[in-house]
Amino acid sequence: MEDIHLAAAKKNVMKAGFLDIEIDPTLDLFHEIERLKKEKNAILLAHYYQEPDIQDVADYIGDSLGLAQKAQNTDADIIVFAGVHFMAETAKILNPNKKVLLPDLNAGCSLADSAPADQFRKFKEKYPDHIVISYINCTADIKALSDIIVTSSNAQKIVESVPRDQKIIFAPDKNLGAYLVKKTGRDMVLWNGACMVHEIFSLEKITKLKTRHPNARFIAHPECEEAVLRLADYIGSTTGLLKYTQQNEATEFIVATETGILHQMQKSSPNKTFIPAPPNNSCACNDCPHMKLNTLEKLYLCMEYETPEIQMDEELRKAAKKPIDRMLEISAQYGL
Ligand code: 13P
Ligand code: SF4
């Protein structure tokens, strides 16, 4: 008979967002997760912002585009997504017949939250001759209102692929949007959303750090504000930033994005130094509170009991899939 605590936790899983039960502290969670992957033909996909232990046990670690492409091509029966909700939702949109698990359903995204669908629908109505290009960091409802999805690694190419006389709304990230306007010369209408992690880097502290480390390269994610991006030697997606540190001859890097990426940077370039760019508060580095809701314990539990699972309305899924398919097609054309 099922343990009474387990039964109660399963019943409460959609409300709590995760299976709220104690784990035997002697369990080797790395071993257990590997065992479950094999037994259940499950693939574990992790974003670079996940905690190092989760990255180390993942089958694939990547940026948002890489993760969507991996989810599109897997033959696993179960996709376990160590990332935030919109990422797991994208995997489900691409794989309606697979089980998609997220260790903690509360792992949201401030950027996705900054574009509520009802408000965005009204905004869109004001620009009837515009198409909508949306950053993948948005809900399925916003995707369903969009023509093409982009990520930080293909956004510039995709915007440039749209005929010059076609008017564009870009949502939800105003910082990435402003960066794209600058790079492409396209005058896009921007939705006023932002990422809580990338918006709070301190210009003053970064400038001081650069003075103290004159040989360091300063690299930044395009979700950062314009004033921060202006200081950057290189701007790119998490994968772009990682590759830059691998290929550049510099031995010191100041990194303006979520700190999870530093784990892979340090692993692939053990002799180089990586300094997290400081935020505008008392912390020394910048963690995404949503990404960091996933833990090794919650990951093990969601795999063992196959819950919580991403569920989606089929009409919404089909509508949200079209602009994602468009993104994947254009990305493939450009070899991205
Ligand atoms: P990328 O994975 O495209 O670099 O985006 C970073 C991010 O903020 C994901 O939430
Ligand atoms: Fe969302 Fe920002 Fe966290 Fe990425 S880092 S998941 S954009 S809140």
Can you give the pLDDT of all 336 residues of the chain as single tens digits?
A: 578 889 999 999 999 999 999 999 999 999 999 999 999 999 999 999 999 999 999 999 999 999 999 999 999 999 999 999 999 999 999 999 999 999 999 999 999 999 999 999 999 999 999 999 999 999 999 999 999 999 999 999 999 999 999 999 999 999 999 999 999 999 999 999 999 999 999 999 999 999 999 999 999 999 999 999 999 999 999 999 999 999 999 999 999 999 999 999 999 999 999 999 999 887 767 899 999 999 999 999 999 999 999 999 999 999 999 999 999 999 999 999
Amino acid, single-letter form, for residue 167:
K
pTM of the full structure: 0.96
Number of domains within the chain: 3
Torsion sign (Cα): 318, 125, 136, 334: positive
Name 135's bridge partners.
150
Residue 126 lies in a domain: yes
Residue 266 and residue 225 in one domain: yes
Name 299's bridge partners.
none
For 216, the domain range is 198-276
Report pLDDT for 1.
57
Residue 283 lies in a domain: no
Q: What is the CATH number of the domain that holds 257?
A: 3.40.50.10800
Residue 82 and residue 40 in one domain: yes
Residue 213 and residue 119 in one domain: no
Sheet holding 60-62, edge to edge: 60-62, 42-47, 78-82, 99-101
Residue 37 and residue 125 in one domain: no
Residues belonging to the binding site for [4Fe-4S] cluster are: 109, 195, 288
For residues 261 and 273, the answer to whether their CB atoms sit within 8 Å is: no
Q: Which long-range contacts (CB under 8 A, 24 or more apart) does 245-250 make?
A: 245/219, 245/269, 245/272, 245/274, 248/217, 250/215, 250/216, 250/217
Residue 99 and residue 10 in one domain: yes
With a 6 Å cutoff on the Cβ, whether 173 touches ligand 2 is: no
Residue 281 lies in a domain: no
Residue 83 and residue 131 in one domain: no
Residue 11 and residue 56 in one domain: yes
Report pLDDT for 47.
98
With a 6 Å cutoff on the Cβ, whether 151 touches ligand 1 is: yes
Report pLDDT for 281.
83
Residue 143 lies in a domain: yes
Report pLDDT for 282.
78
Residues belonging to the binding site for iminosuccinate are: 47, 64, 135-137, 152, 221-223, 238
Report pLDDT for 180.
98
60 sits in which H/E element: strand 60-62
With a 6 Å cutoff on the Cβ, whether 238 touches ligand 1 is: yes
Residue 282 lies in a domain: no
Residue 42 and residue 182 in one domain: no
Residue 95 and residue 176 in one domain: no
Q: From the alpha carbon of 84, which atom of ligand 2 is closest?
A: 6
Residue 180 and residue 204 in one domain: no
With a 6 Å cutoff on the Cβ, whether 237 touches ligand 1 is: yes
* Residue 111 alpha carbon to ligand 2 centre in Å: 6
Residue 256 and residue 115 in one domain: no
Residue 259 lies in a domain: yes
Residue 136 and residue 217 in one domain: no
Q: From the alpha carbon of 109, which atom of ligand 1 is closest?
A: 10
Residue 284 lies in a domain: no
Residue 218 lies in a domain: yes
Closest ligand (CA of 240): 1
With a 6 Å cutoff on the Cβ, whether 196 touches ligand 2 is: yes
Closest ligand (CA of 279): 2
Instruction: Give the three-class secondary structure for 300.
Output: helix
With a 6 Å cutoff on the Cβ, whether 219 touches ligand 2 is: no
